[in-house]
Each structure stands twice: as C-alpha cells, then as structure tokens.
Amino acid sequence: MRWLERLRKNDPKVADLVTKELQRQEFGLEMIPSENYASLAVMEAMGTVLTNKYSEGYPERRYYGGNEFIDMVEQLAIDRAKEVFGVPHANVQPYSGTPANQAVYVATCNLGDTILGHSLPDGGHLTHGWKTSFSGMFYKSMQYHVKPDGYLDLDEVKRLARDERPKLIWIGASAYARELPFEEFAAVADEVGAYLAADIAHVAGLVVGGAHKHPAPYVHIVTTTTHKTLRGPRGAMIMVTEKGLKKDPELGNKIDKAVFPGLQGGPHDHTTAAIAVALGEALKPEFKEYAHQIVKNARALAEELMKNGVKIVSNGTDNHLMLIDLTPFGKGKGVFVQDALDASGITVNKNTIPAEPSSPFYPSGVRLGTPAITTRGMKEKEMKSIARWIVDIIGEVKSNELPEDRVKRNEVLEKFKQGLSSNRTVKRVRSEVVQLCKRFPLYPELFK
C-alpha cells in the first residue's frame, strides 16, 4: 500500500496510529451527527504546500508577501460560499465553530450585553450563552428551552425577548431534531431590534441541498462549520445576509475585523483550500440527492427504533439526527449505551436530554445521526438493520446502574467496559457491523 509511504519511513509510530484509525472508520459505523467523511480530494487539499504559507489579512490586503496564489485560493472559497448559500458576504477564515461564533459577539455586542440562546441541555450549543462558555461568562445570557414535547418553546422565546431586549439572538442547535423555525425567530428579533444569528453548523449541508429551510431570507448572520453535513475539513465560515447588510451596511466589515485581527492570526490556508473543494462538491447535483437521503435515513432509523420500544425525544426527526431518551430504564444510562455501541462498532455520543435528571458527563441520552453512513451509500434498508442492533445493545446493558459515589462509579464503569469484550451480543453485533461496512467501503483506494 503506497498510502502513507513517506510517513511510514519517517515516523512509523504515527503512521501506524493513522492506519489504525483508518481501519476503525472503515469497519465501523460513524453515527455521531457532527462527524462525516471528507472526500479524498478534500483531504489531498489539506496535505499541500499551502500549509507552509503565512497570510495574515485578507485577499489583496496581506501583511506578508508571496500571497498571490493564496489570495486566489481564499477568494475562490469566498466566491463559492456566497454562491452555495446565496449571501453577499462570506468569511472563510474561522478555525472552527466556536471562534466563528465568538467573532459574531465581537462584531455585534459589547461585554455585558444581553444575549438570548438555546439552552445546552435542551439541545443548544455551548457558545449560545451556556454558563461554562465565554458566551455565558462575558455576556448577560438568557436561555430558552424546549417544551415537554421536545419542540422549541416559541412562547418563551417571545417573552424573554420582550422582557430582556437582547442585543443578539441565536437560533441553531447541536442536539435538536426538528426543523429550525427561522421565520418565527426573525419576527421576534425584528420586534425587539436584535441581531439574529443562525448557527447552522449541523444542518448546513441539508440547507444547501434543499432538505432544510434556508436561513438567509430571515437572519442577519449565518455561521457554520464545514466538516459536518458539508463533508469538508474541520473549519468554519461566517456569512452576512442581505437582511444583515440592510440592518448595518458595515456588518460584513465588522465580522472580518472581529475574525482578524480581533480573534485570530494567520488563516490555515490548506484548510481554506479544502473548504473550497468541499463547496465545489456541494455545488454538484448529486449533493442534493445526498442531503435528502440523510433525512430519509434519519427518519427511517428513528421510526424503526420507536417501533421497537426506544423513546426518541420529540418522537422523530426532521433532519440528520435523533436523541434517544433512556430514562425509561433509569437516569445516567447514556455512558453505558455509548460504550457498548462503541464496542460493537457503532460510534455515537452520550448526550443530555431535555430536563436532564443526571449530569452532562453522565447523561441520560444518546445522540446519533446519519450523515456519515449516508456518505457510504447506505439507505433505508440498512437503517432497519442498524436500528435492530441498537435495540439489541440497549436491551443488553439497560439494567446497569450508575452509582452515586464517584469512586465506585469509576470502578463500575471500568468493570463494565472490560466485560464488553466477552459479551455475546456485543460480539455478534460487531461481526454483523463489519460485514455491512464491507458492502459499503469508505476509502477503497487506500486499501489497494
């Protein structure tokens, strides 16, 4: 295998670890909703000489020489972002989602200003005002929640906005399975004079593919990562809409200044090139088919799980993810199910559920989604098999209890993990998962 040939000669330890991770991905089901598989073209762009260049500033406005081709790369990424999302302004330099959102605060707020965001345990994101994030430390954060049915509480959003008059309102989520109501939030933001920012990191690919409502007509600012449903590198973008420029003609410039020199140094040019490649892929007709198949697969998976007695928050999904509520079996069960599924070759993540009875580190839910397995070509038929395996694993571990005592808790979890390797159900599911993965190879070129 010629892949990693130079790395094997230069640093066999690193090459061995990379190879093991490739094998883990190739023969397992990656079902964490925020993860996906980048194309070989995207990964090739990241491994180019562009990583050698320093280019503080923006195209045609650099602090270093020798950037004529870097300028072209970044401008290409900007132009494609504007075309893909239908916006007049785009910044492709943020290193990841959190710095992108931080730049929005710097561009629109002063320290201590009131902001309104989606509560983390209810499916929101750390940077939307959660207390342990900079956004909750440096700003007066008001948090909205979901109703008992799992849908956003729009009445609470209206009440908080009218009472608190926030400078900035966030709409977006990391564990919310329903379509984001951009239009309803826009009416609230317009009424109180707030900036409205849509964090579409999770659903950006669905938006581009027409499988989710588009935020651009309703919000002032759009942020997104590039590595989830967009299938790009680990980066981020900030976009300003026509509506945003009407509210503040200088908003685009304020965003750019917030990113650099406000929060970051030189951009990662190799990542910028890979973002351009991913956006180019998103412009192809087959990407729309991919986006719609993600949603079809998620709905099929959720329906099959519910048919087999698994509780899903909001009783289904409109997008790429779902949240399993394990409280029918007790609190804090998420870690058991996550670890057992991991041992079975199915990667998910433990997650809080609305009104979480346990804690974020030992939550009572599991979050899973379909972007990565859809990239492999799997469809509704495969979702039924995957749902059956998940049901089997939940049934196998649901009786495990999490001790209140932290010392005993660690002991119990360690013993639990050790026992998974000899568990018959886990071994059977693992074998069946491998067989399914062989039918839908991920990177066959790398195994030639």
| Structural domains for the chain | 46-282 (3.40.640.10), 289-447 (3.90.1150.10)
Distance CA 268, CA 66 (A): 15
pLDDT for the residue numbered 243: 98
pLDDT for the residue numbered 191: 98
Distance CA 51, CA 354 (A): 42
* pLDDT by residue, tens only, the chain of 448 residues: 477 899 999 999 999 999 999 999 999 999 999 999 999 999 999 999 999 999 999 999 999 999 999 999 999 999 999 999 999 999 999 999 999 999 999 999 999 999 999 999 999 999 999 999 999 999 999 999 999 999 999 999 999 999 999 999 999 999 999 999 999 999 999 999 999 999 999 999 999 999 999 999 999 999 999 999 999 999 999 999 999 999 999 999 999 999 999 999 999 999 999 999 999 999 999 999 999 999 999 999 999 999 999 999 999 999 999 999 999 999 999 999 999 999 999 999 999 999 999 988 999 999 999 999 999 999 999 999 999 999 999 999 999 998 888 889 989 999 999 999 999 999 999 999 999 999 999 998 887 6
Q: What is the largest CA-CA distance in the chain?
A: 64
Residue 179 has, within 13 A of its CA and on its CB side, a CA count of: 15
Angle between helices 154-164 and 182-192 (to 10 degrees): 20
pLDDT for the residue numbered 446: 84
pLDDT for the residue numbered 448: 66
On whether the CB atoms of residues 143 and 117 are closer than 8 A, the answer is yes
Distance CA 131, CA 112 (A): 13
> What are the start-end ranges of the E strands in 200-291?
221-225, 236-240
Q: Residues with Cβ < 8 Å from 85, sequence gap 6 or more?
A: 207, 208, 216, 222, 239
Residues with catalytic roles: 54, 56, 199, 225, 228, 234
Distance CA 214, CA 273 (A): 25
